[in-house]
Structures are given as structure tokens and as C-alpha cells.
Structure 1
Amino acid sequence: MTVTLDDLPLRDDLRGQTPYGAPQAPLAIALNVNENTHPVPPVVADDIARSVAEVVAGLNRYPDREFYDLREAFAGYLGHDLTAEQIWAANGSNEVLQHVLQAFGGPGRTAMGFTPTYSMYTLLARGVGSEWIAGTRGERFEMSPSDAARQVREANPDVVFLCSPNNPTGTPLSLDVVEAVYEASRGIVVVDEAYAEFAPAESGTALSLLPGRERLLVSRTMSKAFAFAGARVGYLAADPVVIDALRLVRLPYHLSAVTQAAALAALRHSEEMLRTVADIVLQRDRISEGVAALGYDPYRTGSNFVLFGGVADARAVWQKLYDRGVLVRDVGIPGHLRVSAGTEAETTAFLDALRDITAEEN
């Protein structure tokens, strides 16, 4: 007899749900999950290996529960006069956001985002028993301060997520929107800046808005610009009292000694690690220009990926790209596909494959 989920005493609100996940396939050109496809520089990899080796002998002991050295390093990297007491970190920014929802969400509480946006927000909210409220975006997925604030006032959520730049659309978010939403909200406002390093400098960062706003949280990750997705390290900046709240829900010793050592080594080489950002932005803009030249509709993006519309049959084009060894993402927006900006060679492979497919269809 085969047992299914229906046979288990699963929570009612989890029945019918599907886990988060993008297709994983051993293709040469994988541009579907917004990774930095450039490898970790050898000099940095060597330092990480040495740093991890140094802690191996002490793995019989628990790691630093407060990971103070790492928090101090993140504060130094972020600047804005931040201190270690204002920094939190966890196993990827998803766990950071989970901590936020465990502390400020939960049964009987609501979380809100502006769709389409990062699909994990919904899953994380449901995972802690919060009700999800889907706000809306304007033309071409833009957001205005007045409309965003109006929606927040009407919904009155306990937690608001603002993805800046937005995933999966790449849409930049002005600080005016952040300020308006904060003023309209009574609860926690999380600005998820996972792709901040790829955004234009003039866009600014919500880190500049932290002083005097104890309900404002700014989340970051090492997975994207730092090419550190496999290490699973995310972090957050906020008022020290927020950090105290997150301590109430974290698991003991949640950041391993190995993770702390690897992240510290990578941060010591932040300049070296971020040297690929300029090239990724160049390839991102190449993709936007390339898909537009083929008759598709790329959206304005401040991230390391491009969402483009005008795809008559997104699933069919996705499959044809797959058959040519190129993996992109069907994000569920009809007539659209999303592609990460890779190396120059990977970008060329994607554009060549899409050009062939487009020529076949026409």
C-alpha cells in the first residue's frame, strides 16, 4: 500500500501545497535560479579552505552562538555606521526571513507582498501559520508610493515584504515607496535587497532609512553578488531590539562553525568577490538588448536577471531552450520567461539558442 500526504495528519492549511523549487538539470548553461555563474576566485577559495580547516579540530564543540565576529564583518561591509548589534545572519536569507515571520507573524497574523514577487514569501508565511495578503503592482510591475501605502493601510498587515529589486520581475524600488509603506504600516516592514549589488548606485539602499525606524528591516544575501549560493549565508540589518526578538525564535547554534569561517573568509575578500558584478550587469544589459532585437519585451531590471514578455508559448520556448542545453525559468507569468545573466559565453549561448528558436517559429 502506497502512503500519500493525504494519509498523514498534515496541517489543513498545508494540504494541496507544493514545495518551493526550480527545475534542476545537468545542463551546461543553467540560467534559471539567478546564481552568480562565475566561480569563486582561486585566492578566495584557498583562504576559505584554510579558514575552514582551522575550525575542523574544534568541531566537537558548539560554534559561537552569537557569531559576533561574523556580525561585525557584515556591519563593516554594509557601512552606514551599522554595528554588530544591528546585524543578524542565518543559513540563507530564506531562514532570516523565516525568523522574522516566526517572531512577528504566526497564527492569527498576516503577511503582505506585492505580486508577482518572490514566491518564498508566501510559503514562509504559510509555514508559520500566517495569512498571506497579495497586493498588486501597476503597469510593467512598477509601484508608486501612494498606491503601495493605500494598499497597506487597507490590508493592515503585521509584516510587509518589499523586494528591491523585485524577483521575478527585476523591477527597481524607489526609497520613496519604502518610506511611504513604512509610514502606512503599523507592523514590520522588510526590504529584501538580495540583488542590491546589481542595482544602479543612484537607486540607493533602504539601509540609509534605518535610523529612527525600529520596525524597518533590510535583508541581504551572499548567494548572488558574492557567488556564495552553496554556502547558504543570508543576513539582515535592523534596530538592535529587532535582533533581540529574532533570538527568541532561532534554533540554538544555528550557524555552524564551518559556515561562520567560510563567510568570514569571503568577506575578507569582498572586493575580489564582487569584481564579477560589473560583467554580470554588462551581460544582463546584453540580454535585454538581445531579446528586444528578437521582438520580445524585456522589463526594466536592477538585478542579475531579465524578465521578458511577448512569448507566445512560454512552456514550449522553455522546452526548446532546454533541448538546446540552456535552462531558464518559467516563473508562471503567462507569456513570460526569466533568464539569469551568466558569463559572456553563457549569455551568447542563450541568445543564439533563442535566435534559432525565434527564426524557426517565424
Structure 2
Amino acid sequence: MTSFEDLPIRDDLRGRSPYGAPQKVVPVALNVNENTHPIPEDVAHDIVARVAAAILQLNRYPDREFTELREAFARYLGHGLTPEQIWAANGSNEVLQHLLQAFGGPGRRALGFSPTYSMYSLLASGTGTEWIDAPRDADYELSAETAVAAIEQHDPDVVFLCAPNNPTGTPVSLDTIRAVADAARGIVIVDEAYFEFADPGTPSALELLEGRPRLVVSRTMSKAFAFAGARVGYLAADPAVIDALRLVRLPYHLSALTQAAALAALAHSDEMLAMVDEIRGQRERIVRELGRLGFRPYRSGSNFVLFGGVDEPGALWQALLERGVLIRDIGLPGSLRVSAGTEAETTAFLEAIALFAPSAANRIGA
């Protein structure tokens, strides 16, 4: 059988692997930062009704400008945003891809602060954009001084700030974001995919948009809205940025069904987000209990926790999997990552990992 390496694939794609996490059917899946809470039943019925209405008109192309959806996102985000400042696509990954298609490309460079979301470098590669890894501070933090120094050294065309950061959960201060936005000559993308899980009162980079036409704030419905399967991402930026994205998007890229489902979910945003407080509480419970067990949880503003103090990450990952609990080995030395699930899922994880706490690490595989 021919492999893709035997085909005339682009040279810069040879030897690369596609993005992905292990997909296994287990009782407790806490490995891909999903919102494990189901959509409320009454909301689901409204989504079904709106999608059904859209089906009756599938012989026609959808609204190319997804006007009603942009209006709904502007209302949800607030901060005085207008529909002209909103863009949406099939998941935030496609939003980011549009940005790199418009502002990256051959001969241009994108900068990120490693470790960070691995799709950034893959999207850069797919658009022919050179990817540059810059270091973080201790404990995966990112100070304004460190970030600005990297920008001054590399002079990137695009800067990615994951706030809070994936896979570490580390919050990024508004001071750091402001410093980066003011220092960079290119586009600065603040990826706030997990922002709704931040501690109450945490300011959003949306506060910095006014007067900064090269600053972009990206969001997703996958996490806080429990909408991962619907694939809806969006961003807020200067209207000129939105005009640029129209040049690279595919025609009618958001289906009528996607638009209908997203509008229904946004109409119930209070109910959809009611689970966020519970998830945040389970995150804090994980941090507290992992610390008690002798592991080292890192600071998190997301719906997951990265924790160190793991002698053999692969062995612990496998031991938990054998007990029906799937978490994520992201390749950071001595560390694993777990999503905050329901109370029952969190309990199952904590009970399983307690068997392999540092004081009892010699029992792995027992």
C-alpha cells in the first residue's frame, strides 16, 4: 500500500504527524479538555427545533456573512463590540487558520511560547508559515519582560498568546498581553478558548481591543458551552481584520445547520454556562487533592490541571487507563494533565490516582 510519504507531498510536510489525542471508550474520559456535562434537555430541544427549521431550507446556501450569529456573539461578548468586529468559523482552529492564511504564509513567521497549544505550529506549517518557539518563565508562567524580549529578538509577523495556556492552564496577565500588543508590529492573537473558566473578575483581552487594530481575541463554544461536537469558534477584532479574513475563507463556510445550532445555544447562554462554576469547583478540588497526595499541580485558569511529581508518566497513564480513567500524557517531563469533569468523574480520577501517589509510587502496576 502506498503511504503519503510516497506521494509528491510538500517537502515541509514530510515527517510530520497530524494532531490527535488517544480516542478510547472508557468510563471516565478526562483527556481532551471537553466539558463533560451534557447540554440541558430544554436547550437541546430548542437546538433541535432550530436545526429542523434550517433543514427545510437546505436547498439554499446559508447566509454567507452569518449576520444573525455575529450579532449574537457581539451581544454575548459585550465590551461595546459590534457585529462588524466579529468573525466565526468551524471551531476556533479554523478561525486561527484563517488568520494565518491572511497574515502568515511563506516568508513570514509566527511566534508562540512553548509549551503551548500544539495546533499553532501545525496550522503554521499547513499555511507555509515559519514557526518559532520562545521559552516561558519558571512554572510555565509568562511575564511581560520575557514575552517582549522574544518579540524584539524574532520580530514575528504573528504572535500567539494562549490565555489561559494550553496545555499548562497558566493564566496570562492583562499586563503581559498589553505589553505584547504594544511591542509587536504584526498580528497578536490572544486565544481565550478557556476564558470562561478563569477565576471570577479576571479581565479579558477584549478590554484592550480599542485602539489596537492588530490585536485579535479568539474564543470557542467547545468548552464552556459544551459544544465541542458542533465545531463553532469565533473572534473579535478591528473590522479591517474581518475584511482580511473574507479574502481567505471558503464560500459559505458556516453551514445553515451550524448557524442555527449556535444561535440556539447563545439564546440560552446563562443556562449553558451555569455548569462553569461547578467545573471550576472540581478543578480546585483536583488541585487541592493532588497537592495533598504529594503531586505538584500547576496554577490553572482553565478546566484542566497540569500536575508534576510523576516519576513515570507513561506508566501512571497506563495504570489509570486500566482502571477506566483516561487522562493525557502531553510529553512534558514528569507531568500529566487531567480535565475537570463532573463530581462523579473527578471522584473516580482522584480515587484511582490515590493508589499511585508519590508515597505509594512503587505500587504502579499492582
- CA shift for structure 1 position 9: 0.3
Whole-Å Cα distance in 1 between the matches of residues 96 and 205 of structure 2?
16
The residue number in structure 2 matching 1:308 is 307
1:241-320 equivalence runs, <5 A: 241-320=240-319
Q: Deviations over 1:198-228 (max 9, x none)?
A: 0013320000000000000000000000000
Q: Which amino acid aligns with 2:109?
A: T
- CA shift for structure 1 position 5: 2.0
Percent identity of paired positions between Structure 1 and Structure 2: 67
Q: Which amino acid aligns with 1:340?
A: S
Q: Is the 8 A contact 1:194 1:221 kept in 2?
A: yes
The residue number in structure 1 matching 2:157 is 158
Whole-Å Cα distance in 1 between the matches of residues 32 and 175 of structure 2?
29
**Secondary structure at 2:252 match in 1:** coil
Whole-Å Cα distance in 1 between the matches of residues 226 and 187 of structure 2?
29
- CA shift for structure 1 position 356: 1.6
**Number of equivalent positions:** 361
Q: Deviations over 1:264-318 (max 9, x none)?
A: 0000000000000000000001101111111100000000000000100000000
1:33-182 equivalence runs, <5 A: 33-182=32-181
Whole-Å Cα distance in 1 between the matches of residues 362 and 45 of structure 2?
48
- CA shift for structure 1 position 184: 1.3
Q: Runs in 1 of length 4+ with deviation above 3 angstroms? A: none
Q: Is the 8 A contact 1:117 1:166 kept in 2?
A: yes
Q: Deviations over 1:125-170 (max 9, x none)?
A: 0000010000110010111111211111110000000000000000
Q: Which amino acid aligns with 1:278?
A: D
RMSD of aligned alpha carbons? 0.8
**Secondary structure at 2:355 match in 1:** helix
**Secondary structure at 1:37 match in 2:** coil
Q: Which amino acid aligns with 1:188?
A: I
Whole-Å Cα distance in 2 between the matches of residues 279 and 203 of structure 1?
17
- CA shift for structure 1 position 182: 1.2
Q: Deviations over 1:89-128 (max 9, x none)?
A: 0000000000000000001100010000000000000000
The residue number in structure 2 matching 1:203 is 202
The residue number in structure 2 matching 1:361 is 362
Whole-Å Cα distance in 1 between the matches of residues 121 and 39 of structure 2?
32
Whole-Å Cα distance in 2 between the matches of residues 68 and 268 of structure 1?
15
Whole-Å Cα distance in 2 between the matches of residues 361 and 74 of structure 1?
51
Q: Deviations over 1:215-247 (max 9, x none)?
A: 000000000000000000000000000000000
Q: Is the 8 A contact 1:218 1:237 kept in 2?
A: yes
The residue number in structure 2 matching 1:327 is 326
Whole-Å Cα distance in 1 between the matches of residues 200 and 148 of structure 2?
25
Q: Deviations over 1:61-87 (max 9, x none)?
A: 110000000000000000000000000
Q: Which amino acid aligns with 1:312?
A: D
Whole-Å Cα distance in 1 between the matches of residues 54 and 96 of structure 2?
28
Q: Which amino acid aligns with 1:310?
A: G
Q: Is the 8 A contact 1:47 1:265 kept in 2?
A: yes
Q: Deviations over 1:4-33 (max 9, x none)?
A: 122100100000000000000010100000
**Secondary structure at 2:356 match in 1:** helix
Structure 2 gaps of 5+ residues are: none
> How does the TM-score come out when normalised to structure 2?
0.98
- CA shift for structure 1 position 357: 2.7
**Secondary structure at 1:99 match in 2:** helix
Q: Which amino acid aligns with 1:160?
A: V
Q: Is the 8 A contact 1:306 1:340 kept in 2?
A: yes
- CA shift for structure 1 position 360: 5.8
